[in-house]
Amino acid sequence: MESYYRDQATLCAEQAASTTLPNVIDRCRRSEAAWLAMAERAARHNQIKAALRA
C-alpha cells in the first residue's frame, strides 16, 4: 500500500505542476500531503509488524 500512496502523491504533484489555477494548485498540494502522510503511516505500520515478527 505504501507504494500506491506514494504513486498517488506523485500524481497530485504532477497535476499541481501542470496547472496555473491557484485553487487547483492548493487542492493538489493538500492532496499530495495527505497521500504522503498515509504512505508514512503505512511504512511505520510495516516496520512495527516486521519488528513484532522478529
pTM: 0.89
Domain ranges of the chain: 2-53
Distance from chain centroid for Cα 38: 6
Three-state secondary structure call for residue 21: coil
Cα gap 12→25, rounded to integer Å = 9
pLDDT at 23 (0 to 100): 97
The pLDDT of residue 30 is 98
pLDDT digits (tens, 9 = 90+) for 33-54: 999 999 999 999 999 999 999 7
* Amino acid (one-letter) located at 48: I
Give the integer Cα–Cα distance in Å for 32 and 22: 15
